[in-house]
Chains A and B, each alone.
Chain A
Amino acid sequence: MARSNEVNLNECKMVVPLNTWVLISNFKLAYNLLRRPDGTFNRHLAEFLDRKVPANANPVDGVFSFDVLIDRGTSLLSRIYRPATAEEPQLNVAGLEKPVTAEVVPVIIFFHGGSFAHSSANSAIYDTLCRRLVGLCKAVVVSVNYRRAPENRYPCAYDDGWTALKWVNSRPWLQSQKDSKVHIYLAGDSSGGNIVHHVALIAMESGIDVLGNILLNPMFGGQERTESEQRLDGKYFVTLRDRDWYWRAYLPEGEDRDHHACNPFGPNGRSLEGIKFPKSLVVVAGLDLIQDWQLAYVDGLKKAGQEVKLLYMEQATIGFYLLPNNNHFHTVMDEISKFVVSDC
């Protein structure tokens, strides 16, 4: 067994920069420690190991941030990122929620990844990513600190996402000047990508317009074992075993992976034909073992006549968007910036 692991590690190192390899391998190692075979999760150690950063009302590289308690009952926090304006060097608490001034300001509601169990809005990796998105899209970014599994199963993450969306939609200070409406986009990676889909669905059905969905390596699955899962199992940081663990932790007890949360176009899913649904940008990493499910998702959208653009990054592994040291990163960032402003 050791021998084939050796091969895996070497292959893995060939396709990512060394510091990326170190970063993701470190996560993999830490996460192995946190998942218990009985399905429980070592939350204290997880919080101890997670590298966090505080919000910062002082602009850094043109972006400032602050946390907002959106729902006291569930302690639902979100971190808001805004572009700093030249004329407001000293921001006080009254100025944080100052109205946006541009004709059109996209508001991106972001759901961090972590397979529903890991990370937070104030995790350093996601704080960094959200800050990038502000500059990239000239947007306000709202990063939702949704409740995590296994302590909080389906549908908590979606409920929190929906609560945050309603909150965003009702902020006068987030309305674009052009039409006094909030221009909402949803974005997320891994489990966050999954949340994007489901929250968009709830939104559209409730009459709140979402202008676009951005799904980065979204987390989907199903009971069947697909070709990519078998071929890539354990090869690039991720194993089927850990994927299964996370679904068991998130889905209601007793449910299998054909539950519609996991497999939205599967046997328990529903067709989106004829439903008004946002345009989608779906990014799939060619070395991600769940790509068959992600591609099936794209197919499901297409078959339902929904607008979707697929970005298939052949040599990309999970987490490539966390560090700006590879071509996939830049390609994807370019596409995101085009996607978000294209309806202006």
Chain B
Amino acid sequence: MKRDNNHLQPNPDPSSSLCGGSSPGKANLWEEEATQQDCGMDELLAVLGYKVKTSDMAEVAQKLEQLEEVMCNVQDDGISHLASETVHVNPSDLSTWLESMLSELNPPSFDPFGAAGKTAPMGTLDDPFLGGPAESSTLTTLEFENNNRKHQKRGQQIFEEASCSDYDLKAIPGKAIYSQNTRTQPQTHDSSSSSTLNNVKSEKRLKSTSGSHSDIFPPPPAVSYGIPTDSVRPVVLVDSQENGIRLVHALMACAEAVQQNNLNLAEVLVKQIGFLAISQAGAMRKVATYFAEALARRIYRLYPQNPLDHSLSDILHMHFYETCPYLKFAHFTANQAILEAFEGKKRVHVIDFSMNQGMQWPALMQALALRDGGPPAFRLTGIGPPSHDKSDHLQEVGWKLAQLAEKIHVEFEYRGFVANSLADLDASMLDLRPSEVEAVAVNSVFELHKLLARPGAIDKVFSVVKQMKPEIVTIVEQEANHNGPVFLDRFIESLHYYSTLFDSLEGSVSSRDKVMSEVYLGKQICNVVACEGVDRVERHESLTQWRNRFGFAGFSPVHLGSNAFKQASMLLALFNGGEGYGVEENNGCLMLGWHNRPLITTSAWTPANKTTATSTITN
């Protein structure tokens, strides 16, 4: 049979595509063929998004058959709970996914005292936790303690949106973090040791229980499966107007002129852009204006002033938080992963690299307060840059969170660290307690990429994070490569990216929020385009690139599952009816996009040499 191979992948041996007879030995025939072939991944399935080793194919087929059989024999209810209650994780890893469902339908005997569970010593909850003295000269410490040790909850309806004197720490409703099953009936906390062993979960958890599965799949090589790892350029065109295209042409031409150091031409072009932008409408005009300004700064070497005053910066951040779902998605998905990692832990410590106004934490605290068996003792270490007006903004934030903690009866401890760079941190400064006593989560939302501006900084931070022995490290980053070596490439990438982002803002209800958000993003644009060296901190990189970095630094992925996906999707419905926004699952990470263009990614990690941290007393 003539084959037209020009456009096709290399074809496997035709004889291997035909199957044998119906004898029981058939499975062995395939296994035999499989071992003769390359023991790597099945290329054809990989292109379609499924990771199955050729040598595992027969076993995967068997699992599918088993599931089919079980599903036929089980009542309809049995199947429906697989769909509605079960948490699915990483569907690309077919073998593990199928295995999870099989064990779901044929649960092994439940052993509450088994090795899988780690029992935290109950210890004396009354130990006061006093903070240590200030350490290095670059850092100052501020601490708060919540002396409220009450764990009894009274009444059903306790958690109204806690509001503080100055402004509301707006939070995603606490229930959003819970799946439908979790009983919201608060229980009195029993400090006897039996309570730790009674963490019978109503929610079924399916996870890749060991790091080894994820180790099987290293980042794909550059030339494979049709998708080069570091050069995928997703683009969505939302505006096909004639003027829009001319404007983009002009921006590109100007950037090219800058790239070639033809500053006279660049100057002429940047003025042209100004004229063209005026006649344009909507998002395109604004984006073009910001990019033009940034180009102008680069041409005239009028680099942006020192970072904005904190209060203004905070305000912009707040408006961005309100206008569009990006920050809320980031907080929500990170919190979900943290919550799951903290299951069964009695004392927890969150180290937040991106403290800002602490908007991520009320929701987590509320979720912890509602937890089966009562909340853990919650310690928060917030890290942020110094403020210029001598105000102790980190202190204020901590104070507000302490007030919230008091209202919801969560034992709370807070420490704020001011640092110019995360690389200034050392683990010894953080007063870490042994990991059997206190579980640690490290959280970073849109901060990590800044470290790429200084050589060695990211490696220092990875190393310090590992010293913290975290159960989980949650990272949210922009999904874009704005850190390539060539200016023109960065310009084009960021033009696509911010055009899409600005387009998503257009539907905002409040025009004031919208403007503030645009200013907030405009600062980023300016940094990407006009700055260089250590000043250029907006060095966004893609998930693939971060995966490589985390992998080489000795971290394994922790997968986010279908429950987080679903609730994140539902969260989006609050913004403009959800039209245009979409959540995507990517090998255990979650991405938020606008019209199918991924814009931010949440991923979670744990140090690779750790045995499985989140003790899974799975049902």
Point out residues on A near B: beta carbons under 8 Å: 1-2, 5-6, 9-11, 13-19, 21-23, 25-26, 29-30, 32-34, 36-37, 42, 44-45, 47-49, 51-58, 60-62, 66-69, 72, 75, 77, 90, 92-94, 96-97, 122, 124-125, 128, 131-132, 134-136, 145, 322-327, 330-331, 333-334, 337
Contact = CB atoms under 8 A, between A and B. Distances in A.
B583 interface: yes
Contacts of A37: 76
A19 B44 contact: yes
B73 A331 contact: no
B562 A67 contact: no
A124 B72 contact: no
Given A14-B20, A92-B492, 13 more contacts: A16-B19, A18-B61, A19-B52, A29-B64, A34-B83, A45-B562, A58-B231, A67-B235, A124-B48, A132-B8, A135-B7, A145-B596, A330-B2
Given A22-B94, A56-B233, A94-B249, A322 B48 contact: yes
A302 to B, nearest CB: 27
28 contacts: A5-B72, A14-B21, A14-B22, A17-B18, A18-B57, A19-B52, A22-B52, A22-B64, A34-B83, A48-B565, A49-B88, A53-B227, A54-B232, A54-B598, A55-B597, A58-B228, A66-B236, A67-B596, A69-B238, A72-B238, A77-B236, A93-B492, A93-B499, A131-B7, A132-B7, A132-B8, A324-B44, A331-B1
B173 interface: no
B192 interface: no
Interface stretch (B9-17, B193-201, B383-391): B9-17
B72 A14 contact: no
Contacts of A45: 83, 88, 562, 566
Contacts of B3: 330
Contacts, number: 219
B402 to A, nearest CB: 36
Given A23-B50, A42-B83, A57 B235 contact: yes
A61 to B, nearest CB: 6
Interface string B413-438: 00000000000000000000000000
The 5 closest A-B pairs by CB, nearest first: A51-B49, A135-B7, A54-B234, A124-B49, A17-B17
B16 A23 contact: no
A132 B582 CA distance: 27
Nearest to A93: B248
Interface of B: 1-4, 6-9, 11-12, 14, 16-22, 26, 30, 42, 44-45, 47-50, 52, 57-58, 60-61, 64-65, 67-69, 71-73, 76, 79-80, 82-84, 88, 91-92, 94, 226-228, 231-238, 240, 245, 248-249, 252, 489, 492, 495-496, 499, 562, 565-566, 569-570, 579-580, 582-585, 595-598
A330 B4 contact: yes
Contacts of B234: 54-57, 67
Contact of A23 (B6, B45, B227, B231): B45
Contacts of A132: 7-8
Contacts of B50: 23, 26, 51
A68 B237 contact: yes
Contacts of A34: 83
Contacts of B26: 10, 13
B410 to A, nearest CB: 30
A60 B48 CA distance: 15
B19 A17 contact: yes
A9 B84 CA distance: 27
Given A14-B19, A42-B84, A125-B48, A325 B12 contact: yes
B597 A18 contact: no
A66 B235 contact: yes
Contacts of B61: 13, 18, 21-22, 25
Contacts of B9: 324
A53 B233 CA distance: 11
Contacts of B69: 2, 5-6
A33 B236 contact: no
A22 B57 CA distance: 8
B226 A131 contact: yes
A342 to B, nearest CB: 15
Contacts of A325: 11-12, 17, 44
A47 B591 CA distance: 12
B566 A44 contact: yes
A97 B569 contact: no
A177 B487 CA distance: 36
B596 A68 contact: no
Contacts of B76: 37
Nearest to B10: A324
